Amino acid sequence: MDNQKILQEVKQSFMLKRVRALDENEAFIQAMCQNDEFNKLYTAYNSKNLAYLRSKFAGENSALKSEVENLKAQLEAFLEKNNIDKSNLQPKYECPICNDTGIVNGKMCNCLLSALNSKKSILMSGKSKFKSFADCDDSIMTEQDFKTRDLLKTWCEKYPNGTKININILGASGAGKTFLLECMANALMAAGHNICFKTAFELNELARQYHIGKSYDFSNCLQAEVLFIDDLGSEPMLKNVTKEYLYNLINTRQSNHLPTVISTNLDLNNLLDRYDERIFSRLVNKRLSININLTSPDKRLS
């Protein structure tokens, strides 16, 4: 896929994000307007705000501006009095810098650049397309598989409004771990989220190269909304590299409340043995983590 096509697809997903935020905002306002007091205030605010926005073409109108601000403050006070989150008054864009337009001052916003990177990283992973939840083959799924799928699907649908930010998918080769990671990545991307998908082997190799002075930009791994690390434990353990980079990555992401989803052949004990307490306690944490044990037989053989 050429760069132009990638940009086009990413821009389209941004447009969807914006539409979703605007729709949610409109639904909120409509529901609130059932209340007469709110409705009256909001109607006044809306018409003054429109008048103010129009007047801006002819220069700043400070009297109108303060009227708008005053009405907005009254609306916020009304919501606060009724224990309703006042931030709902405005559309909730993911990027406060560009309001999810991807453009700021005529240039690409960082959020658009990192979304482009994540799209490219998929293409570079050699997969033209990730699997999706719709690709699940019901005929070979156990009851546990259905539960796992529904849990992960719901997590993606709720994102970013969940409390758990680490998902560890454990299980033997062929249990369907990579498949599930791809399904999640796919669902999140379709909803316009920016993800980064790497195998542990790739990540380790990038860290090694960086360690010996070759430049690599880790910002996408650090800042992507959701980072996927496939097959943790399959990478060679390099002194001063593997644990250090992994710790940094996971710790930084956790501090910024950014989810990391891993798959691994290791069980929890082996994970602790291999990566030590610091990493383990960040990955496996009662308050923040979901651990999924896939015990199904090898799907690739069935």
111 touching Zn ion, by CB under 5 A: yes
At residue 108, the 3 state secondary structure works out as strand
124 touching Zn ion, by CB under 5 A: no
Q: Any bridge partners for residue 230, and if so which?
A: 199
115 touching Zn ion, by CB under 5 A: no
**Spatial contact of 195 and 224, defined as CB atoms under 8 Å apart:** yes
Q: Considering only 89-97, 202-210, 247-255, 263-271, which stretch makes contact with Zn ion by CB under 5 A?
A: 89-97
Note the Cα 245 to chain centre separation in Å.
Answer: 21
Output the CA–CA distances (angstroms, integers) from residue 245 to 29, 240, 248, 261, 287, in the order listed: 46, 8, 5, 16, 24
Note the Cα 103 to chain centre separation in Å.
Answer: 19
Considering beta carbons, is residue 100 or 235 the nearer one to Zn ion? 100
224 touching Zn ion, by CB under 5 A: no
Quote the least distance from Cβ 111 to Zn ion, whole Å.
3
Quote the least distance from Cβ 18 to Zn ion, whole Å.
11
97 touching Zn ion, by CB under 5 A: yes
Residue that has been written with the tokens 């009227």 in this structure: 67
10 touching Zn ion, by CB under 5 A: no
Single residue of 98, 156, 189, 200 touching Zn ion by CB under 5 A: 98
Q: Considering only 82-90, 92-100, 142-150, 291-299, which stretch makes contact with Zn ion by CB under 5 A?
A: 92-100
Q: Which strand (E) or helix (H) includes residue 11?
A: helix 3-32
95 touching Zn ion, by CB under 5 A: yes
169 touching Zn ion, by CB under 5 A: no
Total number of residues that touch Zn ion (CB under 5 A): 5
Quote the least distance from Cβ 279 to Zn ion, whole Å.
31
CA distance linking residue 167 with residue 179, whole number of Å? 14
Q: Considering only 64-72, 104-112, 148-156, 158-166, which stretch makes contact with Zn ion by CB under 5 A?
A: 104-112
Extended strands (E) in the chain: 103-104, 107-108, 166-171, 195-199, 226-232, 260-264, 289-294
Residue that has been written with the tokens 């907005």 in this structure: 72
Residues forming the site for Zn ion (CB under 5 A) = 95, 97-98, 109, 111
